[in-house]
Structure 1
Amino acid sequence: MSGNLQEWLRAHADELDQTQGLAAGVIPRLAADGLFGIGVPQELGGSGGDIRDAIKAVAGIAEYSLTAAFVFWGQRTFIEYLLHSPNHGLAERLTAALVRGERAGATGLSNAMKFLSGLESLQIIATPNEKGWQLDGSLAWVTNLRKEGFIAAAAVASSADAPPAIISFDSAYSGVQRSDDLDLMALRSSNTAAVRLQNVGISEADVIHADARQYLPAVRPCFLGLQCGMSIGLARASLQAALTLSAATRNQLTTRIEELQRLLEETAAQLLEGVHDGRFKAKAAPLFRIRIQLAEIVQQAVFLELQASGGRAYLQDGDKSFARRWREAAFVPIVTPSLTQLQIELQKQAAAQVA
């Protein structure tokens, strides 16, 4: 990350969090730094490396702004969907423009991840026609739906005798309707909205994978790994702030802060290793536990920062970074898959093993 981007994020983190005024500028800023190309093959317009490099980049942004990291996650995860797609024509058509930030990519697969765990039915129906399929339905919460235009991924249920599929659709397609931005208490410049599809036509060229049940387990480690980067970066920022405050006030928190820092880095290393070697594709439970542990570390980190700050953290004219991180931390447990959903899935897997 360049110094210019660091300064921009530091200067505008609160505005990104609390207003929608900078929503149009996040993608161009991140793209100008080459961040979307990290972990993307050079032949597709990227800078090379692998998914671990992308996770580290998300974490780096999250140290400054979870809003910017959330947008980064959405864009980079959509690119990852294309990298795992057997539809090489689609990947060749879209990836370079997404890497350059000329197009916005929205994951739209939160509903699909819940569906994979048996927690929710698919919200979009695909009806075959002479040109491909007609899409009807809606997605209630999607990030990076830029008002200037976007491409989104979604899981669709077939009205015919076919498995659920993963498809993409463009905001320019007739029948795609974006809602106003959701009235979030934080992360307000993330272009988070609902989208409704009514008589939207797509073709084979828009299909990411014809079988969602086969595709989703393979891409889920990248989806969750990049998402975990947000927790890692936020926890690092909060713990560093807490450590600085603790040293200045000579309180008794330093040992606890340093212990949590060590646990954070150990957990981050386990995440990177497992995503890289592919173990999470066959066994998702360890990845779920890492996601839960990182979320718990975030909550402990912001609480330690609060304790290190004392009453100053509660003053409106004080450093607003803590208040922003407190709001950002409230988002970590609920972003799909939420901690509750992951815990339910782990309980189901444990019960199945006993049976």
Structure 2
Amino acid sequence: MTMPLPDALNRFLEEHALSLDTDASQASALLPALGASGLLKHGVPLALGGEGGYTIDALDAITAVAEKSLAAAFVFWGQRAFIEYLLQSPNEALRERWLAPLLKGESAGATGLSNAMKFLSGIESLQVQASTVANPFAPGHFLLDGQVPWATNLRPQGFVVAAAVERRDGEAPFIAALPFDRAGLQRSDDLDLIALRGTHTAALRLTRLEIEPQDVIAIDARAWLPRVRPAFLVLQCGLSIGLAQASLAAAQQHGAAARKVLGEPIQQTQAELAVTVATLREGLYTGQFVTDPVPLFQARIRLAHLALQAVQLELQSCGGRAYHRDQPLGFARRWREAAFLPIVTPSLTQLQGELNKRAAKAAVTA
């Protein structure tokens, strides 16, 4: 059963779902709307200003938003993923500085760790490098240079972005939180995307950006990333789940004439979706995905395929009406949204490559 959305947020998303996909006119209003709804607090301990519960509750909230707007859910995911980084960071000073405004939607959090997740799988090297500041009065300070080619939720009014950093001295790479107003951080204009244009997605350039120990999320990226990756990917799965549920509901609602033909495949897709979501929830709850990420990678791939399949079923059930711009079906938006799911990092190609690599290694050692 889908989590009900607060009335104000539900009205906002119903009114602006198309705009959030096609332009940036509502981009600045989106995060405050999410903050006011209280949904960002799901899965955050009461003692830290949250609603309590578990990370799976945040997945349910992202799923509910994705049923209305994938652009809104993508921003939600970025914000909630950064909140999760703070929850799993040993840096209490950093958490005290940022958690409250992030939970309220007053500041934006951007994950910026797409490159890091590829690095963890050996796909690419880190794109931000750190040089130690040679100053005995500033121990633990670094100067950062490099780029973050793609990050979402870089709200011009204020944001903090996570970045994985390679140390030029050969020590372990680390994860840092970079505030928007720090000297040396330059944000590009919003990227010219074909959809999800209301998400404040842009690139960042770092030039001799100085950070201190209070800016460090995790001192050892290689040890920390596998622990946070399950939440990163599970929360991301809410995008596929919500879109699939929305398209399947539309297929049932608008496909009366085609119901005899499409009824069975719609039911089969719904059943497979339910099984995959149950696997996802169990793996997150038990902690299995920390030590064995393979089922998580498989679920992420399968959910994206199910969302694409659901959109196809919606198209077939609606028929020619889906191609009429004057029909309030929402199909064209969901079609564009579905095209994004295979490429959001880690992409389906990258996940499948990682599965292939692990399978080959297992075959050698067997």
Quote the residue 2:69 is aligned against: 65
Residues 239-264 of structure 1, C-alpha deviation per residue, up to 9 Å, x if partnerless?
Answer: 00001122365441011101111111
Q: Name the SS of the counterpart of 1:157 in structure 2.
A: strand
Give the residue type in structure 1 aligned to 2:250.
A
Q: Name the SS of the counterpart of 1:138 in structure 2.
A: strand
Give the residue type in structure 2 aligned to 1:189.
G
Which of the numbers 38, 44, 64 marks the counterpart of 2:42? 38
Distance 2:341 2:258 in 1: 29
Q: Name the SS of the counterpart of 1:121 in structure 2.
A: coil
1:352 aligns with 2:361: yes
* Higher mean C-alpha deviation, range 251-260 or range 298-307: 251-260
Give the residue type in structure 1 aligned to 2:201.
T
Residues 11-31 of structure 1, C-alpha deviation per residue, up to 9 Å, x if partnerless?
Answer: 110011000111101110000
Which of the numbers 140, 158, 161 marks the counterpart of 2:170? 161
Distance 1:71 1:155 in 2: 20
Quote the residue 1:27 is aligned against: 31
1:75 aligns with 2:84: no
Which of the numbers 51, 54, 58 marks the counterpart of 2:58? 54
Q: Name the SS of the counterpart of 1:181 in structure 2.
A: coil
Quote the residue 1:87 is aligned against: 91
Quote the residue 2:250 is aligned against: 241
1:265 aligns with 2:274: yes
Give the residue type in structure 1 aligned to 2:159.
F
Task: Decide whether the 8 Å contact of 1:246 with 1:252 is kept in 2.
Answer: no
1:197 aligns with 2:201: no
Distance 2:308 2:236 in 1: 16
Give the residue type in structure 1 aligned to 2:207.
Q
Residues 62-89 of structure 1, C-alpha deviation per residue, up to 9 Å, x if partnerless?
Answer: 0000000000000000000011111122
Identity of aligned residues (%): 54
Give the residue type in structure 2 aligned to 1:317.
D
How large is the RMSD of aligned CA atoms in angstroms?
A: 1.0
What TM-score does the superposition give when structure 2 sets the normalisation length? 0.95
Distance 2:95 2:24 in 1: 31
Residues 90-146 of structure 1, C-alpha deviation per residue, up to 9 Å, x if partnerless?
Answer: 112211111011111000000000000000110000111133000100011100000
Q: How does 1:209-228 map to 2 (within 5 A)?
A: 209-228=218-237
Quote the residue 1:144 is aligned against: 153
Quote the residue 1:307 is aligned against: 316
1:286 aligns with 2:306: no
Task: Show structure 1 runs of 5+ residues with no match.
Answer: none
What TM-score does the superposition give when structure 1 sets the normalisation length? 0.98
Deviation at 1:153, TM superposition (A): 0.3
Distance 2:239 2:318 in 1: 23
Residues 249-302 of structure 1, C-alpha deviation per residue, up to 9 Å, x if partnerless?
Answer: 544101110111111111111111111211000011110000000011011000
Give the residue type in structure 2 aligned to 1:112.
A
Question: What is the aligned length?
Answer: 355
